[in-house]
Structure formats: C-alpha cells, structure tokens
Structure 1
C-alpha cells in the first residue's frame, strides 16, 4: 500500500530543490557571487511563504495534509539552512568578518521577520 502523504512530501521536496537550483543560478547571474545573495533571497522568500501557509492553516483554509506537502516537502526542499551556514563559514575563511556577521545575523533577523509577515498575511486572508 502506498502512503500518499509520504509520496507527496517526497515529490514536493524534489520540486522545491529543483526550483531552488534554478533560482539560485538566475540570482547569481544577476547579482554576482561576492555575497551569498541567492541563498539569502531563497531562504527569506521561503520563510515568508511558509509563514503564509502556516497562517492559512491556522485559519482553516488549508488542509493539514496540503500543509505537510507544501511546507515540509516543497519549502523544505526550497530553503537551505546548511548552505547558508557553509556560505557564512566561507566568508569567515576569507577573513571577511563583517560580511560573515551581516550574513549570519541578517539572515536570521530578516527570515524571521519574513516568516512573521507571511503568517500575518495568511491569517489576514483567512
């Protein structure tokens, strides 16, 4: 017997990772690679979208199963904490201390604010 929720999360995770890879290339081509702009933009937008999805779930506009597929699956594949950590460490290895601190703390603060904004918008729509 197939667990359809498991399969949905797995497929959505793959789709999220593919979208991240494509978007990463587009952003790096547009903004360069001196700072990890692509990873930051992807993680901030993912935080906003997951916050919005969570707000819609709280307003009972999204089924828990859909939230699992989109939130755990797609957004889990789309966002990437590990890449952000490695890129911050790379900045540290290059002795770009200010850039490393701005990247690490800035991403944390802005991603959290984006998640809160998305949550607020999702609840407002509900």
Structure 2
C-alpha cells in the first residue's frame, strides 16, 4: 500500500460516508415514522447499481487504478453498508417485526445483486453498441 492509494480510498470514503448520511437523513426527514429501514435499502440499491455501471465501464476504459480505488473502494464502499443492514434486520426481529426483517434481508441481498447485474449488463451492452 502506498500514499496515493491511501489518499484515494480515504478521500473517496469520506465523500461516500457523507453521501450515505445525506440519503439517510433525507429519507428520515420525509418519512419520519417509517418502521422499515428504507434509507439503508436506498443506499445499498443505489450503490450496487452504481458499482455495476462502474465495473462495466472499468472493463471498457483504461483508467488509473487510483480513480477505481477512489470511486469503488472508497466512495461506494463507504456509501453502502452491510453492517447497518444486518443490525437493522436484527432490531426488526427483536421488535417482532419478522416479515419486515425477512423483507429487509431479501430486498437488500437480492435487490443489490439484481441492481448490480442489471446495471453491469446494460452498461456493457451500451458500451459495445457505442
């Protein structure tokens, strides 16, 4: 690991964490009484969709590894959150909201995989077409 790598990941991570905070606070502002953790679902789906687009583009373009580290590892790594999704699922179960917990697990895992796959394959097809 070298200094440019650290700078790329840390600076991307700081912006990604700020982006996540903005999405979570905005979601809470407009849906203050939501019993389902929509903000976390939003960041995970958006982040997964974005990583799908980026990896398709990374395969197509010759970019600096530092740009890839900044965007994928740094920004999207901090923007998305597996640990928050996990504890929110546990908290839903603790509060006897088992169907919400099940939906949260399915929506975050399958939804994120589907979002990444759709974004990746559509972007790959578009880049081949262009």
Q: Same fold (TM over 0.5)?
A: yes
Cα contact 2:16–2:75 (8 A) shared by 1: yes
Could you report, residue by residue, the CA deviation over 1:53-109 in whole angstroms, capped at 9, with x for unpaired residues? Answer: 001011125443311110000001100100000100000000111110011112111
Instruction: Please name the residue that 2:26 is paired with.
Output: 26
Distance (whole Å) between structure 1 residues aligned to residue 43 and residue 97 of structure 2 = 22
Instruction: Please name the residue that 2:72 is paired with.
Output: 71
Cα contact 1:43–1:111 (8 A) shared by 2: yes
Instruction: Please name the residue that 2:5 is paired with.
Output: 5
Question: How far apart are 1:5 and its partner, in Å?
Answer: 2.3
Distance (whole Å) between structure 2 residues aligned to residue 80 and residue 109 of structure 1 = 15
Distance (whole Å) between structure 2 residues aligned to residue 102 and residue 10 of structure 1 = 33
Unaligned 5+ runs, structure 2: none
Could you report, residue by residue, the CA deviation over 1:97-124 in whole angstroms, capped at 9, with x for unpaired residues? Answer: 1110011112111110000012123313
Instruction: Please name the residue that 1:50 is paired with.
Output: 51
Instruction: Please name the residue that 1:82 is paired with.
Output: 83
Matched length: 125
Cα contact 1:36–1:87 (8 A) shared by 2: yes
**Structure 1 pair 4/125, CA: closer, same or farther in 2 (3 Å)?**
farther
Instruction: Please name the residue that 2:94 is paired with.
Output: 93
Cα contact 1:12–1:70 (8 A) shared by 2: yes
Which of 107-116 and 28-37 deviates more?
28-37
Q: Which structure 1 residue ranges, 4+ long, deviate > 4 Å from structure 2?
A: none
**TM-score under structure 1 length normalisation:** 0.91
Distance (whole Å) between structure 1 residues aligned to residue 113 and residue 120 of structure 2 = 10
Unaligned 5+ runs, structure 1: none
**TM-score under structure 2 length normalisation:** 0.89
